[in-house]
A and B are shown apart, each in its own frame.
Chain A
Amino acid sequence: MGMTITEKILARASGAARVAPGDVAVVNVDTAVLLDLSFLPEGWREVLKVHDPSKVAIVFDHLVPASTVQAATCHQTGRAFAAKFGIERLHDVGAEQGISHAVIADRAYALPGSVLVNGDSHTCAGGAFNCAARGVGGPDMLWAITTGTAWFRVGETVRYDFTGRLRPGVTAKDLFLHIAGTYGAHVNQNVEYGGPGMSGLSINARRTIATMGAELSAEFTIFEPDDALIDYVRARNAAKFDPVWPDADATYKERRAIDLGALAPLVALPDAVVNQSVPVSEVAGTRIDQAFIGSCANGTLDDLEIAARVVRGRKVARGTRFIVTPGSQAVFRAALRAGYVETLLEAGAVVTPATCGACIGGHMGVLGPDEVCITASTRNFKGRMGDPSARIYMASPATVAASALAGHIAGAEEVFA
């Protein structure tokens, strides 16, 4: 009997001929990514031994540039740790700054067919690169860097087969909201994406979908590889890699087909991501205080491009704050060169440095009591972006940009008509 992509990667990394649902696989970790939060004093412990410094990367992202003395102290601890063990991949505040998952994409650290762990839940972002990437906890990260291994429970796999092509103005976020709204949580399950329509999705679109796998509560979220992916990785990382396709006779818990051409823009209602998707028209007119585009899910160049296209030559509504946070400084520079940043600024948006920032309710866009926000980011949980009484709607960057212009939730159809 064949294996899914996830099973094949975990089997190879654990030295087993096969793994199956119910197994606990102890695997060799190819890449372990630490964050600034990894160095918070209540979780970090003095490390006496690093298994292989070349397999470790450190990305400061939740608290950059340092927002508090404590954040600055975390960064100092991280720098000292990198220096002590000779860890060369240190993404400090500066040109190489970014949200870890965006940096991992920019630099193709998540190699196809490999295993990556990171102390942030949206690590499944690396699944866009055919990588078994999983968010783990602080103790897991210490274990991974000191032993080079990690344990995973092997779950059942749900496979999505895409056909057709997204219509103009319909984005990967809408596709995700369709999946989340239709099928709900995938607890203890792996999610794999493929099918003839997959290659019509840009790498950045796949990143949005893979990143949001955390909101499906999936174990792993992995895309099939294709030529576009392999070219993307080869252009950015000289390391050898071995992409993994599923076996033809792999066993799935379920196989679901999605016609991309049939999808329309959606909005997730506040307080939860899954089972909350409604058509934009259902909530159109809801007054907003803030519109946000950013995070590991929607801070890609594609997201900034579509936001710029929607607001070009127009102005953000009076009384509405429009905050845009590129996923990395590399994305910021690319958006600057392409003219997207100027377009956004002219419209009245605030474009911030790359950071987790507003998405995590950290800094640069925290919500006050009873405020209403529409966001293209990862989560709309109660209290996620600031005060627990704030209401957070989630939508595509196109819908968020159109809402920023209107001052209330609005679709972007006319731009794409």
Chain B
Amino acid sequence: MIAPRVWCFGDNINTDLILPGPYLYRSPEEQARAVFQSNRPGWVDQVGKGDAIVAGFNFGMGSSRPAARSVRACGVGFLLAETINGLFFRNAVNYGLLACECPGVAAAFMEGDSAELSLEAWTVRNPRSGAVLAVTPVPAQLLALMRGGGLYPVMEARGLIAPA
């Protein structure tokens, strides 16, 4: 899949930046409008559907709040980071945000690049530089959840929770 535009973020992007505490009590739509309001005001108006976030180490450090849902709701097609915080990764799986670790990715992309991700080859390519990096494969059962919209549809289908 091709991300038309890459947005670069640094290391240790925490969940208070992605989903600020006061917004925990707002609707998912309002939460999505608050993404990065402290560190990158206005980003939510600039990001386009299918764009990619490229980040450094420990993306999503912090809270169990549904920050991954907000990132997905902003239209982000996929997220690649040097490392992803374990709790954020769980939420990415469970809310259906495609998020993978990719050593070297932070240095290989500049803001405004596009990115071509292959989940068959587990690679990402930068068309500008021609660089191709290995993406760390996500275990099959977790990838299926990520790509299938997360846990809620599974729980609904099994009759564990009522449909929304």
Contacts and interface: CB of A to CB of B under 8 A. Distances in A.
Interface of A: 24, 37, 40, 42-43, 45-49, 68, 70-71, 119-121, 135-140, 142-143, 146-147, 151, 153, 155, 185, 187-188, 214, 217-219, 272, 274, 360-362, 379, 381-384, 388
Nearest to B16: A381
B95 interface: yes
Contacts of B39: 382
A185 B160 contact: no
Given A37-B24, A362-B21, A121 B87 contact: yes
B16 A121 contact: no
A393 to B, nearest CB: 16
B16 A382 contact: yes
Contacts of B68: 137
Interface residues of B, number: 45
B118 interface: no
A383 B161 contact: no
B121 interface: no
B159 A48 contact: yes
B114 interface: no
A356 to B, nearest CB: 10
Interface in B89-113: 89-91, 94-95
B12 interface: yes
A140 to B, nearest CB: 6
Interface string B42-64: 00000000000000011001111
A48 B94 contact: no
A120 B64 CA distance: 5
A214 B68 CA distance: 17
Interface string B13-30: 010110011101111100
A383 B14 CA distance: 11
A384 B21 contact: yes
B133 interface: no
Contacts of B126: none
A142 to B, nearest CB: 6
Contacts of A49: 159-160
25 contacts: A24-B141, A40-B25, A42-B31, A48-B159, A49-B160, A70-B25, A71-B25, A137-B68, A137-B87, A137-B90, A139-B152, A140-B94, A140-B151, A142-B151, A143-B94, A143-B160, A151-B141, A153-B142, A187-B57, A214-B87, A217-B85, A219-B86, A272-B14, A383-B20, A383-B38
Given A188-B83, A381-B14, A142 B161 contact: yes
Nearest to B81: A187
Contacts, number: 131
B77 interface: no
Contact of A137 (B21, B57, B91, B159): B91
A155 B24 CA distance: 30
Contact of A45 (B64, B95, B152): B152
A187 B151 CA distance: 24
Nearest to A146: B160
Given A272-B12, A382-B16, A187 B161 contact: no
Given A138-B66, A140-B94, A384-B21, 19 more contacts: A24-B142, A42-B31, A43-B66, A48-B159, A48-B160, A120-B64, A121-B62, A138-B94, A139-B150, A142-B151, A142-B160, A153-B142, A185-B61, A187-B86, A214-B62, A272-B12, A361-B21, A382-B39, A383-B17
A185 B161 contact: no
A77 to B, nearest CB: 13
Contacts of A388: 20, 38
B131 interface: no
B139 A24 contact: yes
B119 interface: no
Given A142-B155, A188-B86, A272-B12, A135 B142 contact: no
A187 B55 CA distance: 14
